[in-house]
Structure 1
Amino acid sequence: MGCRIAVFGTGYLGATHSACMAELGHEVVGVDVDTAKLATLAAGEAPFFEPGLNDVLKANVDAGRLRFTSSYEEAAEFADVHFIGVATPQKRGELAADLTYVDSVVTRLAPLLTRPAVIYGKSTVPVGSAARLSEMAQHLAPIGDAVELAWNPEFLREGFAVHDTLHPDRIVLGIDLERRGRAEEVARELYRDIVGEGVPFLVTDRETAELVKTAANAFLATKISFINAMAEVCEAAGADVSELADAIGYDARIGRRFLNAGIGFGGGCLPKDIRAFMARAGELGANQALTFLREVDSINMRGRTRMMEMTREVAGGSLIGTRVAVLGAAFKPDSDDIRDSPALNIAGQIQLQGASVTVFDPKAINNSRTLFPTLNYASDVRDACDGADVTLVLTEWEEFQRLEPAYLDPIVRCQRIIDGRNCLDQAKWRNAGWTYRGVGRR
């Protein structure tokens, strides 16, 4: 018999978690204030692109295990297990995370809890948030300390979110170790099928659980910025960063993953999470421990300016009047997420330098048009590259990696391509007579 679960927030994290918890056999209600989004989800469709998610949503909505509501009262009456999956964006004008949405869930839900309940946080929050929210919930709830608050961070990769929820590489649960209640027992029941597959189930204090997510993102960001810094050195020295990454990647202590040089990381997690991590360390008096993350962030942002400068160089020294095709708008392939997208940031910088920029992305055009309405948008690669003086590949969609020079030859005005993700076969393009530039490539 499954558990009755309420998931607060139906954005990327919440919608995926709701659908996957239902897939595991639990009865789930997703809660959000956005009624238009709720209607879309109730029809079995995600309001964003994520491979495989629509199938899981529709199957469980049709099976009656998954529904959606805007009513906190309905959710509190229905469920004894509650997940917080709302956004924690960067505060305007600050590095710190904005916990307005997380706090709002607790302040609205807790007064409605009239029987023992467990609240699990999944949103990425600064360390110490869980303890504060626990006190808040117990103060506001009629049942007092019969409401428990634990932290169960998510480790989803966009493009693989369903797989990562149903088949994670680990489950981390942070609980109040001084007052061991039901949180661990309930979580083991929730994830019984997953743990049965041999997935590690790590139980720790709430503060460590909060740090696991931010530390993981900080490490990944550091690894990406490291190889991009090496790309700068390779360009100056005449070396090749892809061959360098292959060579050091054979070292088991280093590994090859996340050592792909390019225009850097973006999205809704890494940039804002490392900045919030720095801000929280400062509040705790440990700011010197994370000063290196400022350089990680700086290297990442510098990659965008360097790509604009490379485009200007390839165009002959000036972008005024140049027609530039940008292939890719999402921050990564298999996603329509444009939050802090390096591709769109670069497209905007190039346009400000006087170029006419046309963007194509298989999934992210509508989102891009909303955020960057002054750019030109194309319906396909051919339309984007029509008359282009320079073509940029800025998101490594498989469709772009499969492009053949002969396909673009009769379309573009000049055979110049810049591979911002080092995802193309440079020999193929050069042998076809194209000017090819990569990031840190020989």
Structure 2
Amino acid sequence: MFQKILIANRGEIALRVLRAAKELGIQTVAVHSTADANAMHVRLADESVCIGPPSSRESYLNVHQILSACEITGADAVHPGYGFLSENAKFAEILAAHNLTFIGPSAEHIRIMGDKIEAKRTAKRLGIPVVPGSEGAIHDDREARQIAAEIGYPVLVKASAGGGGRGMKVARSEADLSEALSTARSEAGSAFGDDAVYLEKYLEKPRHIEVQIMGDGAGNAIHLGERDCSLQRRHQKIWEEATSPALNIEQREKIGNIVSKAVADLGYSGAGTVEFLYENGEFFFIEMNTRLQVEHPVTEAITGIDLVHEQIRVASGAGLSVRQEDIWFLGHAIECRINAEDPYTFAPSPGVITHFHTPGGLGVRVDSGVYTGYRIPPYYDSLIGKLIVHGRNRVECMMRLRRALDEFVVDGINSTLPLFRELVGNVDVANGDYDIHWLENYLAESR
């Protein structure tokens, strides 16, 4: 097992990793920008190192500074959390070259799954169902028109190196296609430095279903069920739940077994999430995230398995602590991402939190690194914290969530709490009857 882990991240995920490491008896090192000098994970870590000014590029993305912090403190492993360097294959390679362990998958697997086209090819080869579309990048408009005619409109133009909805455009007819291609290429080039795009069949009312997996890198892998992340705005998840209201036991076992076999055959190591669009009883692969997800706590709630513990175990060579037959799915869990944003326009709201009170009670968990008097900086994502609620069934979970949201207090800045209080009382949400377009349509119609 590792002696000391450096946490190359900030906010609630840095605190989450720190807690897991301490429970395993491992020393922790927090790195931070000057803007995060008073952050909770910095206060609680065994050691801390300032790695630069507020800009992410000069601090949390500064590989040289992170390596220096490892050398100064004697850390023997690095946990990247999510975001920042968590899916950077070059970072994983550099750590290995300096005899440091990257707590995550191999650089090769990060690179394969980071290229959306190569990821789709790999998924198809491993037996995972994929969305009909182009086999690779589209070279010109003529090729795009031919493929679109074969798979049928509407089609989705997607950036090969994309994420977060950037470089993604819908063409509902041949007349729309050229403009969609041009716009997507332009956005992809600006955002990712790579303007390659490909085509997929556009599904009208799909749900976003993702399967959590863990692999040991030696040909063994397990799945920990699915999460339903269909409540989204501009392709950004805000509400996640496990298990999905749309799936039954047979569907869950079928897609879980397909995915776990595929990642075992790949020789994958660590945590990962295979994401699908789900429509009319069919799953269509869209991407694989080679890291811990923001929404991992709902999986922990229904399985009782600490995913960060498992990540650390696997990276240290200890292997998985559980087998597939050991995993049971108990009850229902929902996570709400509480952001420092206007609840309806989603405009960022940095500033000082004048009063912060979190809910409690049976089945209620809050993952947050903020406190009363904490200043939300304007330089990073706007996540205040995550409210995770667990119940014996979805009805109990929803009632507990309603109560917990009423107890949650964030004063001094805007937050998305009012939106969640509204959503938890909505009939469609209560019935689990929604798709990936539901939230944006609801906001457009109700404001």
Structure number with higher helix proportion: 1
Structure number with higher strand proportion: 2
TM-score of the pair, normalised by structure 1: 0.29
